[in-house]
């Protein structure tokens, strides 16, 4: 395929994707049990930002700023964060089938959250436990992987991740088994399914900066991460400090994923599918893949969550919906990628 003036065309795609996400956000703000028009959404948000009077009915203002705004912000940021982490991990591991929880971060978060629910801790503590659990799982994987070493440290890391993930999975099973089946067990199960309903402004205030910090780190390092797609010898001979860069990427991606999972539960597929979709347009260049993944991930997550909210009589968990949407999309992308390259 020829890429005539590839740079300009990509900029257009990125701009288009941003515009699409903006439209999605307006749509998401306005639909639901209590419909609000786009103009009213705009006025309500403007009023909330500037502290002025919107002139709207108090309940409309409350729906926009107190109910929907945190949820929209959570969906956008979690989608962007997971997609950014997924794209980075795929480059780091030189493997397009890698997702953000390859090193066991999701299992760690789940075990942390499960324990907190088992101990009947308040919601804030559940998020904190989940976050710490995720970091602990990845920390354990890195410690074991470094200790084992071996010829192919990345392979060692992935295998260790699988094993530690399973170990934490067994921990979750045990927590479920001993949990009170009437209150705690359903709470754990619902948490594992993922949800944006629990995204309180207070938790957002903690999770958002952490996600922003991680994504900003990845974005700043994007030209170096690009080179990680080559073999280790090549990357090192080009002057990249591969070991330190790997640690930086893993720490940033773990921070991002652990924050996202502790905010919204385990939401799969976004981190795997979105970078693939981005590559269809962006090619292999990581800086482009990352920028587009962030935008597409945010839009995808928001679209799925909004559909979950309005399409059915009862809300379905977005973690389930992303799998239902993500799997056919992923298969389509696979077919598209491989048929094109054939």
Determine the Cα–Cα distance for residues 97 and 85; give it in Å rounded to an integer: 13
Residue 96 is a binding residue for other proteins (CB under 8 A): yes
Residues 6+ apart with CB under 8 A from 178: 118
- Residue 26's H or E segment, with its range, is helix 6-30
Supply 158's token pair.
Answer: 């992935």
Choose which of 224, 246, 276, 309 interacts with other proteins (CB under 8 A): 224
Q: How far is the CB of 292 from other proteins (least distance, A)?
A: 14
Dist CA 155 CA 163 (whole Å): 12
Residue closer to other proteins by CB (options 52, 95) is 95
Q: What dihedral angle (degrees, nearest 10) is formed by the CA atoms of 68, 70, 72, 77?
A: 180
Give the contacts of 54 (CB within 8 A, at least 6 positions apart).
Answer: 43, 44, 46, 47, 48, 61
For other proteins, what does the binding mask look like between residues 26 and 45, x meaning CB under 8 A? --------------------
Contact with other proteins (CB under 8 A) among 116, 188, 221, 260: 221
Q: How far is the CB of 144 from other proteins (least distance, A)?
A: 19
Non-local (6+) Cβ contacts of 201 within 8 A are: 70
CB of 249 to other proteins, least distance (A): 13
Binding mask 232-271 for other proteins (x = CB under 8 A): -xx-xxxxxx------------------------------
CA distance 180 to 119: 11
CB under 8 A: which stretch of 33-41, 91-99, 134-142, 171-179 binds other proteins? 91-99
Q: Could you say which of 52, 59, 66, 95 contacts other proteins (CB under 8 A)?
A: 95
* Stretch touching other proteins by CB under 8 A, among 40-48, 52-60, 87-95, 308-316: 87-95
Residue with the two structure tokens 């920028």: 291
- What are the angstrom distances between the C-alpha of 67 and each of 31, 173, 191, 288, 319? 12, 33, 20, 34, 20
Instruction: Work out whether 342 is an interface residue with other proteins (CB under 8 A).
Output: no
Q: Residue numbers of the site for other proteins (CB under 8 A)?
A: 1-4, 6, 91, 94-96, 220-221, 223-224, 226-227, 229-231, 233-234, 236-241, 279, 283-285, 287, 341
């Amino acid at each position: 395929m020829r890429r005539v003036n590839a740079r300009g065309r990509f900029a257009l795609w990125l701009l288009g994707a941003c515009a699409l996400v903006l439209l999605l956000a307006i749509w998401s703000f306005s639909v639901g049990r209590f419909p609000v028009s786009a103009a009213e959404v705009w006025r309500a948000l403007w009023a909330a930002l500037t502290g002025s009077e919107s002139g709207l009915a108090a309940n409309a203002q409350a729906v926009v700023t107190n109910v929907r705004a945190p949820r929209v912000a959570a969906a956008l940021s979690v989608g962007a964060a997971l997609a950014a982490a997924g794209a980075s991990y795929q480059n780091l591991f030189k493997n397009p089938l890698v997702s953000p929880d390859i090193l066991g971060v999701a299992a760690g978060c789940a075990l942390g959250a499960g324990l907190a629910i088992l101990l009947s801790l308040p919601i804030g503590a559940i998020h904190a436990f989940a976050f710490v659990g995720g970091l602990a799982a990845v920390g354990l994987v890195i410690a074991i992987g470094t200790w084992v070493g071996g010829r192919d440290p990345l392979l060692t890391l992935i295998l260790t991740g699988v094993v530690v993930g399973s170990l934490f999975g067994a921990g979750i099973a045990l927590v479920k088994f001993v949990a009170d089946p009437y209150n705690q067990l359903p709470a754990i199960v619902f948490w594992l399914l993922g949800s944006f309903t629990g995204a309180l402004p207070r938790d957002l205030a903690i999770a958002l900066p952490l996600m922003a910090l991680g994504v900003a780190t990845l974005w700043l390092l994007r030209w170096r991460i690009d080179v990680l797609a080559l073999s280790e010898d090549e990357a090192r001979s080009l002057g990249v400090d591969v070991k330190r860069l790997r640690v930086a990427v893993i720490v940033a991606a773990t921070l991002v994923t652990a924050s996202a999972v502790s905010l919204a539960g385990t939401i799969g597929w976004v981190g795997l599918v979105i970078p693939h979709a981005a590559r269809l347009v962006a090619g292999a260049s990581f800086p482009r893949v990352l920028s587009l993944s962030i935008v597409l991930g945010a839009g995808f997550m928001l679209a799925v969550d909004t559909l979950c909210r309005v399409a059915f009589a009862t809300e379905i968990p977005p973690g389930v919906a992303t799998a239902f949407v993500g799997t056919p999309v992923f298969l389509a992308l696979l077919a598209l990628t491989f048929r094109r390259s054939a």
